[in-house]
C-alpha cells in the first residue's frame, strides 16, 4: 500500500475519485444536499483534465445531457438526491429504452418531497426499482464504507458499459458526508470496461440495436460516421419506431432479460459470521455499519448471528438471500425506511413469516442498540 494513495475523504469524494478512475469524461448535474460535494469536486477536477463539467438548470436537463453525451461515446455520470432523483425518472426510462450507458448517483436523504436535506434515510430503494414507468429491469448498487463506495462506483461504470444500461448508485447521507480512510487503487488495479464500439466501417450499414452473438450491442458514436435513430418508442434494429407486436414483445423481453439473466454476475455482497448463523441480519449502506457493530459484539459472546450486507440491491439477489437464510430462525432486515427491501426479502426466502423489519425513520443513523432492542423483542426476550 503506497502511503500517497491513502486519503481521508468524504464518501462523496470517494465516489467522485472513483468515477474519474473509471474514465468519467462528462458530468452534468444540479447540486443538491447531500450529494453536492460530488459536483463540487468534479467541477474542479474534470476541466483540469480536459473533460467536461456542466451545471444544468435542473435534474431533468442533467439526465438528458448525460444521455446525449453518452451516445457520442463518453462515459457519463450525474449525482443528485431524492427530489432530483424524482425529476430524473422520465429520462431514466428513456435511457433504459434506448439502452444508453450512464451512471446516476442518488445520495439519499429524508423524503418525500424536500424532506430532510441534511439527514439520512434509505427511502428511495423502491423508487430506484420502479420510479420510472413501464416494465423494466434496473441495476442499483450501494456501499457502506468508502473503499466499497470506490469499488461500487467503478463497478457501476463497468456494468453500464457492458449491458448498455443506466446504473444507479444508491448511497446515503451518512456515507456521503462521513470522512474516513480511502486507499485509492493504482491505475490498472481495478478492471475497467471500455465502450464497445462497432467494427462496421464508414459507409457500411450499422444497426444500433442488432445484438452480437454474445448479446452485446456495439455502439457507434452519435454524430460520427453512421446515421441512426434513437427513440423512447419501441423500435427496430435500426432504432426506428415500430408497433409490430413481435418486435415490441422481443424488445420488452430483451430489456428485462439482459439484466435478469445476468443477476448472478451483477450480485455483490459481503457475508459476516454467516457460517452457522441462526439469526441473519440483512442490511445495506450505512445501516449495515451499525448491524456489523452489533454482530461483531454478539459473536464475541458466542451468539449465532450473522450479517449479509447487500451491495447489489437491484436486480435483487434472490438466490443468494435464499441460500444464506435457509437455516435461519430469524431473518431481520435492517434499513432506514418504513420497510422497502424487506418486501423483496420476503418474496425471496422460503419462510417469509420469519422475516422481520428493524428500522429507524427519524432521519438519524440507526444504532447497534436500536437493532439489539428490536431484535430482543422479536426473539421474545423483552426490551
Query: Can you tell me the distance from the alpha carbon of 235 to that of 242, in angstroms, rounded to the nearest whole number?
Result: 5
296 binds other proteins (CB under 8 A): yes
For position 174 contacting other proteins by CB under 8 A, the verdict is: yes
* Of positions 41, 160, 178, 266, contacts other proteins by CB under 8 A: 178
One of 3, 49, 133, 381 touching other proteins (CB under 8 A): 3
Residues 339-378, mask of contacts with other proteins (x by CB under 8 A): --------------------------x-xx----------
Residues touching other proteins, count (CB under 8 A):
22
- Residue reference for cell 435511457: 95
Residue 7 found at the interface with other proteins (CB under 8 A): yes
List the beta strands (DSSP E) in the chain.
6-10, 26-29, 52-55, 76-80, 102-110, 116-120, 139-141, 166-172, 179-183, 269-272, 279-283, 305-310, 312-314, 330-335, 355-359
Show the DSSP H helices in 164-236 as ranges: 173-177
Q: Give whichever of 33 and 229 is closer to other proteins, judged by the CB atom.
A: 33
Of the two residues 33 and 267, which places its CB atom closer to other proteins in the complex?
Answer: 33
CA distance 41 to 14: 10
- 87 touches other proteins by CB under 8 A: no
Question: Which stretch, 17-25, 57-65, 148-156, 179-187, contacts other proteins (CB under 8 A)?
Answer: 179-187
Q: Which of 177, 235, 258, 346 binds other proteins (CB under 8 A)?
A: 177
Which stretch, 6-14, 18-26, 320-328, 331-339, contacts other proteins (CB under 8 A)? 6-14
Query: In 3-state terms, what secondary structure has residue 9?
Result: strand
Task: Tell me which of 25, 40, 90, 180 binds other proteins, using CB under 8 A.
Answer: 180
Among 106, 153, 198, 290, binds other proteins (CB under 8 A): 290
Q: Bridge partners of 110? A: 116
Q: How far is it, in rounded angstroms, from Cα 24 to Cα 186?
A: 16
Of 54-62, 172-180, 195-203, 336-344: span binding other proteins (CB under 8 A): 172-180
Q: Per the structure block, which three cell numbers stand in for 4?
A: 500517497
The binding track of 232-271 with respect to other proteins, each residue x by CB under 8 A or -, is ----------------------------------------
Touching other proteins, residues 12-51 (CB under 8 A): 33-34
Binders in 88-117 for other proteins, by CB under 8 A: 117
Closest CA to 15 of 120, 121, 106, 86: 106
Q: Give the span between the Cα atoms of 127 and 137, in whole angstroms.
A: 13
What is the distance between the alpha carbons of residues 284 and 307, in angstroms, rounded to a whole number? 10
DSSP state of 219: B
C-alpha angle 108-39-26 in degrees, rounded to nearest 5: 115
Q: How far is the CB of 219 from other proteins (least distance, A)?
A: 40
| Site for other proteins, rule CB under 8 A | 3, 6-8, 33-34, 117-118, 174, 177-181, 289-290, 292-293, 296, 365, 367-368
Amino acid at each position: 500500500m503506497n502511503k500517497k494513495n491513502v486519503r481521508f475523504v468524504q464518501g462523496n469524494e470517494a465516489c467522485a475519485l472513483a468515477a474519474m478512475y473509471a474514465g468519467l469524461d462528462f458530468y452534468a448535474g444540479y447540486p443538491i444536499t447531500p450529494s453536492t460535494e460530488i459536483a463540487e469536486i468534479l467541477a474542479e477536477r474534470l476541466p483540469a483534465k480536459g473533460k467536461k463539467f456542466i451545471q444544468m438548470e435542473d435534474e431533468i436537463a442533467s439526465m438528458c445531457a448525460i444521455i446525449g453525451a453518452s451516445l457520442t461515446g463518453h462515459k457519463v455520470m450525474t449525482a443528485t438526491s431524492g427530489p432530483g432523483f424524482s425529476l430524473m425518472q422520465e429520462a431514466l426510462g428513456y435511457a433504459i429504452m434506448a439502452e444508453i450507458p450512464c451512471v446516476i448517483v442518488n445520495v439519499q436523504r429524508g423524503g418525500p418531497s424536500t424532506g430532510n436535506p441534511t439527514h439520512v434515510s434509505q427511502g428511495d430503494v423502491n423508487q430506484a426499482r420502479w420510479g420510472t414507468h413501464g416494465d423494466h429491469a434496473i441495476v442499483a448498487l450501494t456501499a457502506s464504507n468508502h473503499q466499497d463506495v470506490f469499488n461500487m462506483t467503478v463497478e457501476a461504470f463497468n456494468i453500464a458499459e457492458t449491458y448498455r444500461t443506466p446504473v444507479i448508485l444508491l448511497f446515503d447521507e451518512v456515507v456521503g458526508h462521513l470522512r474516513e480512510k480511502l486507499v485509492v487503487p493504482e491505475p490498472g488495479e481495478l478492471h475497467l470496461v471500455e465502450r464497445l464500439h462497432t467494427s462496421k466501417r464508414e459507409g457500411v450499414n450499422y444497426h444500433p440495436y442488432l445484438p452480437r452473438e454474445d448479446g452485446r450491442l456495439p455502439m457507434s458514436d452519435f454524430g460520427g460516421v453512421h446515421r441512426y435513430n434513437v427513440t423512447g418508442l419501441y423500435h427496430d434494429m435500426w432504432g426506428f419506431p415500430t408497433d409490430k407486436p413481435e418486435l415490441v414483445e422481443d424488445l420488452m423481453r430483451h430489456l428485462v432479460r439482459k439484466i435478469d439473466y445476468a443477476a448472478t454476475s451483477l450480485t455483490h455482497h459481503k457475508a459476516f459470521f454467516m457460517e452457522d448463523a441462526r439469526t441473519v441480519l440483512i442490511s445495506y449502506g450505512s445501516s449495515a455499519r451499525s448491524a456489523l457493530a452489533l454482530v461483531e459484539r454478539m459473536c464475541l459472546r458466542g451468539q449465532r448471528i450473522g450479517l449479509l450486507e447487500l451491495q447489489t440491491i437491484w436486480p435483487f439477489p434472490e438466490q443468494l438471500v435464499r441460500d444464506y437464510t435457509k437455516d435461519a430462525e430469524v431473518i431481520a432486515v435492517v434499513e432506514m425506511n418504513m420497510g422497502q427491501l424487506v418486501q423483496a426479502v420476503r418474496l425471496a426466502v422460503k419462510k417469509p413469516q420469519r422475516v422481520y423489519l428493524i428500522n429507524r425513520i427519524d432521519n438519524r443513523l440507526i444504532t447497534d442498540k436500536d437493532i439489539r432492542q428490536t431484535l430482543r423483542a422479536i426473539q421474545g426476550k423483552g426490551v
